[in-house]
A and B are shown apart, each in its own frame.
Chain A
Amino acid sequence: MTDRIGRWPGAELGPKDLESGAVTTVRYRPEAKFAWSAGEAMSRFLAELQEGRLIARECKGCDRILFPPRMFCEECFRPTDTWVHVRDTGTIETYSISYLDTDARRIIEPILVGVVSIDGASPKMGIMHYFGGMTKDEIRIGMRVKAKWRRPEDRVGSVLDIEHFRPLREGER
């Protein structure tokens, strides 16, 4: 049957056809603005970031320290029990060396980004963040890192209150 189909539908356009007016277009920009209630767990998480601390929730049902924190345990399906501070040190679980920014534009100095599992939380519990203070040749899975915090007066209650995670130095905790 695929051999018998003579015409496969679709009229291809070139990259300039939309801008040049070769094809009739209609443009629209939606009014789409949102402000999500952070809720109980994330509000506390953000408030603690502003204080230069990372906070998690403990679930006594499965004995896990959940980070990022959440008011319900997704494994036990029950409310979590207590707030627990965790350390601002951790381990690189995975990373990428990116030559693209968020709008897919090329950049010369790569961004080092990845997932860091946080000490004090249950194994593998972590967040995505930037890595700094290391070159793209030095970064590796398993590296021990520590948060580099912004100055207290520059923190606003955001994951960006941490500038990046940098290599843990000898003797540091």
Chain B
Amino acid sequence: MRKVAVVGAGMTLFRRRLQETGKELSFEATRMALDAAKMEIGDVDAVIHGTAPDAFDGVHMKGEYLLDGSGGRRKPYMRVFTGGGTGVFSTIAGYWHVASGLADVALVVNEEKMSSCQPHPQSVFAHIWDPILDRPLKPNLVWIFAMEMNRYMTVHGIPYEDIARVAVKNKRNAVGHPCAQLADPNITLEDVMNSELMAWPVRRLDISPPSDGAAAVVLASEDVVRKRKLRDQAAWIKGVGWCIDSTMWTDRDLFFPEYVNRAAKMAYKQAKITSPRKEIDFAEPYDPFDYKELHHLEGLGLADKGKAGLMTREGITERDGDFPVCPSGGLLGVGNPIAATLGLKVGELYWQLTGQAGKRQIPNEVHTGVTQAWGDLMQYGCVVVMGA
């Protein structure tokens, strides 16, 4: 199996509404990543694009529509789509393009333009439900998160305060992120716990916002890293894993994300990690809601079931803590343009591991990080372990 490294990354601002078209956003992120990797589009052998529901951008087969902005013209171009998991999954697809030997350099570009959808991107989520079982009940997307959060809290007896603390941590962490939409250096636990009740137990500040944005990473084989002398700016992909659970979410107990656990085990096995909490230095789990960070830390085997909340309470997951989690500020702090969260997950791992995270740089030395994304109907988990 060929070794593959991330050698450059880029991302646009994440904002509720950006003026740039989806093609322009894709181009900006791609150009930044290529510049960072000291390459031109002619150096790229294959392009992988990740983008979530077509209905946001309002174009059927939107992967095709975005390909020229993504550098895909007259190249092997592939779109992959795993709902919210796409933020990390496209990197996994990029990984096998290079690891297989079919490409020496692969460009992974993720884009989302939720603001195109009128009157509100929320309406797209009406179409993710089963047409016979769920849709007639006119469900709101927040309901399913609320149900999962309730189950998680009740089974383990987790106080809401422990969950709200994650939102405070991440929105404060995001102050160091140049692209952040919702950074807030002064946010308090009371702010979160008193914010508007949406669907109990979920409150407004527990949720990450819809955003526009794009991000890109450049993947290169070991030979390319050597020939182009990119070792100092390379972060190696050590393990990848992905897993999908049954469509029938009402037949599953939502308190533990089994699909994240299996994806993690697959990635850890490849990375030869047997004690993840000891052998990994920091994590960027997917945090579209604050409780998801805890839920996913447990799924990733980085905390015992029901115990992730203690880590936040004790300051362990702060940027200067023993095990930093979401040093980027996460989706909660920076924004959630679904697939473009690539920049906050794989991108953040890259910048931290190569010492390029600026104000967000974790003070302790970090050598190995894990990132994870989640998607579909409480169904999809994908995990990437990187090291430098």
Q: B2: CB under 8 A from chain A?
A: no
Q: A13: CB under 8 A from chain B?
A: yes
Q: How far is the CA of A158 from the CA of B202 in the complex (A)?
A: 29
Q: Is the CB of A128 within 8 A of B18?
A: no
Q: Is the CB of A98 within 8 A of B17?
A: no
Q: How far is the CA of A19 from the CA of B246 in the complex (A)?
A: 42
Annotate B1-42 by CB proximity to A: 1 below 8 A, 0 otherwise: 000000000011111111110000100110010001000000
CB distance from B177 to the nearest CB of A (A): 9
Chain A residues whose CB sits within 8 angstroms of the CB of B246 once the complex forms: 74
CB distance from B115 to the nearest CB of A (A): 8
Q: Is the CB of A94 within 8 A of B17?
A: no
Q: A62: CB under 8 A from chain B?
A: no
Q: Is the CB of B150 within 8 A of A94?
A: yes
Q: Tell me the nearest residue of chain B to A64, going by C-beta.
A: B251
Chain B residues whose CB sits within 8 angstroms of the CB of A70 once the complex forms: 248
- Partner of A96 from B32, B120, B150, B359 at Cβ < 8 Å: B150
Q: Is the CB of B133 within 8 A of A2?
A: no
Q: Is the CB of A98 within 8 A of B200?
A: yes
CB distance from B79 to the nearest CB of A (A): 19
Q: How far is the CA of A97 from the CA of B202 in the complex (A)?
A: 9
Q: Is the CB of B251 within 8 A of A124?
A: yes
CB distance from A59 to the nearest CB of B (A): 13
Q: B138: CB under 8 A from chain A?
A: yes
Q: Is the CB of B17 within 8 A of A2?
A: no
Q: Is the CB of A11 within 8 A of B19?
A: yes
Chain B residues whose CB sits within 8 angstroms of the CB of A38 once the complex forms: 132
Given the contacts A10-B12, A12-B18, A100 and B200 also touching, CB distance less than 8 Å: no
Q: Is the CB of B137 within 8 A of A128?
A: yes
Most buried by B among A10, A100, A110: A10
Which residues from 45 to 80 on chain B have a C-beta closer than 8 Å to any C-beta of chain A?
Answer: 58, 60
Q: How far is the CA of A150 from the CA of B244 in the complex (A)?
A: 37
Q: B307: CB under 8 A from chain A?
A: no
Q: How far is the CA of A38 from the CA of B132 in the complex (A)?
A: 8
Q: A102: CB under 8 A from chain B?
A: yes
Chain A residues whose CB sits within 8 angstroms of the CB of B13 once the complex forms: 8-10, 12
- Partner of B143 from A67, A96, A103, A127 at Cβ < 8 Å: A96
Q: Tell me the nearest residue of chain A to B148, going by C-beta.
A: A94
Chain A residues whose CB sits within 8 angstroms of the CB of B251 once the complex forms: 66-67, 124-126
Chain B residues whose CB sits within 8 angstroms of the CB of A2 once the complex forms: 178, 351, 356-358, 360
Main DSSP-derived SS at the B contact region: mixed
- Partner of B20 from A9, A18, A74, A101 at Cβ < 8 Å: A9
Count residues of B near A (Cβ-Cβ below 8 Å): 65
Q: Is the CB of B138 within 8 A of A141?
A: no
CB distance from B178 to the nearest CB of A (A): 5
CB distance from A113 to the nearest CB of B (A): 6
CB distance from A156 to the nearest CB of B (A): 10
Q: B142: CB under 8 A from chain A?
A: yes
Q: How far is the CA of A126 from the CA of B252 in the complex (A)?
A: 9
Q: B270: CB under 8 A from chain A?
A: no
Which residues from 335 to 363 on chain B have a C-beta closer than 8 Å to any C-beta of chain A?
Answer: 351, 354, 356-360
CB distance from B134 to the nearest CB of A (A): 6
Chain A residues whose CB sits within 8 angstroms of the CB of B358 once the complex forms: 2-3
Q: Is the CB of A99 within 8 A of B178?
A: no
Q: How far is the CA of A23 from the CA of B319 in the complex (A)?
A: 39
Given the contacts A2-B178, A15-B17, A99 and B356 also touching, CB distance less than 8 Å: no
Q: B159: CB under 8 A from chain A?
A: no
- Partner of A128 from B15, B126, B133, B354 at Cβ < 8 Å: B133
Q: How far is the CA of A124 from the CA of B140 in the complex (A)?
A: 23
CB distance from A145 to the nearest CB of B (A): 14
Q: Is the CB of A113 within 8 A of B143?
A: yes
Q: B273: CB under 8 A from chain A?
A: no
Chain B residues whose CB sits within 8 angstroms of the CB of A110 once the complex forms: 200
A-B contact pairs, 23 of them (CB 8 A): A1-B36, A1-B354, A3-B356, A3-B359, A5-B178, A8-B13, A8-B178, A9-B13, A10-B14, A11-B19, A12-B13, A12-B16, A15-B16, A17-B17, A93-B151, A93-B253, A96-B202, A102-B126, A103-B122, A113-B147, A128-B137, A129-B137, A160-B136
| Other A-B pairs, 6, CB within 8 Å; known A1-B356, A2-B351, A110-B200 | A1-B354, A68-B248, A113-B137, A124-B252, A125-B250, A160-B136
B positions within 8 Å CB-CB of A: 11-20, 25, 28-29, 32, 36, 58, 60, 115, 118, 120, 122-123, 126, 131-134, 136-140, 142-143, 146-148, 150-151, 154, 178-179, 197-202, 212-213, 233, 246, 248, 250-254, 351, 354, 356-360
